[in-house]
C-alpha cells in the first residue's frame, strides 16, 4: 500500500504484553479484531515488553515469550508490510516521552488507578515504581504515534482516559501537539469467561490450567479442556443469566462460527451438555489449526522473524522520533 493511501486512513494502535500464553479470550476478544481492523485503519501494533516487567519475569522465559508473541501476531494475520508491527523496547522514544509526561502527571492520578491497586494486592512483595507509573508509559505508547483510535476493553478504559487527560494537559501547557485519542469499541468482540469459573474473565494467570485455553494448545488438550468446562445441573443449551457456564460456551461457539445465540440454541436443541461441550472444543480447535500451522513455520525461521521486527521498529521510530523531538522542543530542551 502506498504511503499516501495509508496516511489517509485513521490510525489505530494497540499493544499486547508478552507475559505468558495468549488465550482464546485474548484472541476472540481482541486479536481477531486487530486482524479485521487492518482493512479500515493504518494500524500500529506492538509487543509491550516494557510493561511486562512491572511483575518479575525470568529473563530467558521473557525473551522466549517476546519472540513467541511477535510470531503469533504474524500467524493470526497481522501484515507487517502494510502496517507497523514492532517490539516496544526497540523504540527508545517510549521511555523518553514517558519521562516528559510523568512530569506532567499528578501523583494522585496514578494512585487512583485500579490496576495498580489490584496488582499491588496480588504481588505485595514487589510494589515497584514501574507498577505505579506504567499508565504514563502507556500514555506515551499511544501519544507518540498520533493515534486517532485505541481499541479498549473494560479493563483498559481508565488507562485511555488518563492518556487523554495527560495529552490535554500537555497541550494546554505547551501548545497543541499531542493527538487526543478516542476509544474504539469494535462491533464484535467476545467477552470470554473462565471455563471453570464463568463469573471471572478467562485469564492465563489463573492457577487452574483447565480454566483457560491457549491459542497454541494442542487439539486434544483444547477438546479435553472444553469437556471439563463447568456447566449446571440442567441439560438445556440455552442462553440465560442463571446458566453462566453454558452461556459462556454459547458465546464462544457463536464468536467462532458467526452464528447468533438463537441459532446456536436451535442447532443444539435436545443435545446433551457433553456433546455440546465437545462440539465447542472441535470448532475452537478447527479455528486455531491454521494459526498454529502458520506459527510453527514463522517461529522456526529466526532470521526472517528478526528482520521483520527490526523493520517494524524502524517504521515506528520514524513516527515516534518526530513526536518526541517536537515535545522536547516545546518543553524547552536544547536540540
Between the CA atoms of 152, 156, 159 and 164, what dihedral angle is there, to the nearest 10 degrees? 20
Residues 6+ positions from 79 with CB-CB distance below 8 Å: 38
pLDDT at 328 over 50: yes
Rounded average pLDDT over 114-121: 78
* Lowest-confidence pick of 198-202, 219-223, 314-318: 198-202
Under 8 Å between Cβ of 17 and 140: no
277 is annotated as an active-site residue: no
pLDDT per residue as tens digits for the range 99-110: 999 999 999 888
pLDDT at 290 over 70: yes
pLDDT per residue as tens digits for the range 225-255: 999 999 998 889 999 999 999 999 999 999 9
Between the CA atoms of 200, 229, 77 and 293, what dihedral angle is there, to the nearest 10 degrees? 140
pLDDT per residue as tens digits for the range 62-71: 999 999 999 9
**Looking at residue 298, what is its pLDDT?**
97
pLDDT per residue as tens digits for the range 55-90: 889 999 999 999 999 999 999 999 999 999 999 999
Give pTM, 2 decimals: 0.91
Q: Choose the most confident range, by mean pLDDT, from 115-129, 154-168, 216-230.
A: 216-230
Residues in the chain: 335
Question: What does the block give as the cell for 16?
Answer: 499486547
- When pLDDT is cut at 50, 70 and 90, the band that residue 2 belongs to is very low
Under 8 Å between Cβ of 87 and 46: yes
Q: What average pLDDT does the structure give for the chain?
A: 92
- When pLDDT is cut at 50, 70 and 90, the band that residue 187 belongs to is low
Domains of the chain, CATH where assigned: 3-189+301-331 (3.40.50.620), 209-295 (1.10.240.10)
Phi, psi of 13 (to 5 degrees): -135, 140
9 is annotated as an active-site residue: no
Task: Find the catalytic residue in 117, 122, 200, 204.
Answer: 204
Task: Find the catalytic residue in 193, 201, 243, 277.
Answer: 201
* Lowest-confidence pick of 10-14, 20-24, 183-187: 183-187
Please give the C-alpha separations between residue 44 and each of 53, 69, 184, in angstroms, as whole numbers.
Answer: 22, 15, 14
Burial of 285 (0-12, 13-18, 19+ CB in 10 A): buried
pLDDT per residue as tens digits for the range 127-166: 888 888 999 999 999 999 999 999 876 666 777 899 999 9
119 is annotated as an active-site residue: yes
**Looking at residue 188, what is its pLDDT?**
56
**Looking at residue 126, what is its pLDDT?**
84
Amino acid at each position: 500500500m502506498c504511503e499516501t493511501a495509508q496516511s489517509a486512513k485513521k490510525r489505530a494502535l494497540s499493544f499486547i504484553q508478552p507475559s505468558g500464553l495468549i488465550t482464546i479470550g485474548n484472541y476472540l476478544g481482541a486479536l481477531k479484531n486487530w486482524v479485521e481492523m487492518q482493512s479500515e485503519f493504518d494500524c500500529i501494533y506492538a509487543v509491550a515488553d516494557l510493561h511486562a516487567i512491572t511483575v518479575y519475569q525470568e529473563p530467558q522465559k521473557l525473551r522466549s515469550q517476546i519472540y513467541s508473541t511477535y510470531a503469533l501476531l504474524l500467524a493470526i494475520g497481522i501484515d507487517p508490510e502494510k502496517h507497523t508491527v514492532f517490539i516496544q523496547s526497540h523504540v527508545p522514544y517510549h521511555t523518553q516521552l514517558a519521562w516528559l509526561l510523568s512530569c506532567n502527571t499528578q501523583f494522585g492520578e496514578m494512585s487512583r488507578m485500579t490496576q495498580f491497586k489490584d496488582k499491588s494486592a496480588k504481588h505485595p512483595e514487589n510494589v515497584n515504581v514501574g507498577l505505579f507509573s506504567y499508565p504514563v508509559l502507556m500514555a506515551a505508547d499511544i501519544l507518540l504515534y498520533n493515534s486517532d483510535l485505541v481499541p479498549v476493553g473494560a479493563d483498559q478504559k481508565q488507562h485511555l482516559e488518563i492518556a487523554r487527560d495527560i495529552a490535554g494537559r500537555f497541550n494546554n501547557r505547551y501548545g497543541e501537539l499531542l493527538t487526543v485519542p478516542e476509544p474504539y469499541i469494535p462491533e464484535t468482540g467476545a467477552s470470554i469467561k473462565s471455563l471453570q469459573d464463568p463469573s471471572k474473565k478467562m485469564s492465563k494467570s489463573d492457577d487452574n490450567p483447565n480454566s483457560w485455553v491457549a491459542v497454541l494448545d494442542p487439539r486434544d488438550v483444547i477438546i479435553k479442556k472444553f469437556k471439563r468446562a463447568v456447566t449446571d445441573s440442567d441439560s438445556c443449551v440455552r442462553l440465560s443469566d442463571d446458566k453462566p457456564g453454558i452461556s459462556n460456551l454459547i458465546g464462544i461457539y457463536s464468536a467462532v462460527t458467526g452464528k447468533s445465540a438463537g441459532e446456536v440454541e436451535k442447532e443444539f436443541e435436545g443435545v446433551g451438555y457433553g456433546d455440546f461441550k465437545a462440539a465447542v472444543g472441535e470448532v475452537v480447535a478447527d479455528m486455531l489449526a491454521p494459526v498454529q500451522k502458520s506459527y510453527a513455520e514463522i517461529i522456526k525461521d529466526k532470521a526472517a522473524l528478526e528482520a521483520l521486527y527490526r523493520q517494524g521498529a524502524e517504521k515506528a521510530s520514524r513516527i515516534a522520533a518526530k513526536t518526541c523531538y517536537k515535545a522536547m522542543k516545546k518543553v524547552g530542551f536544547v536540540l
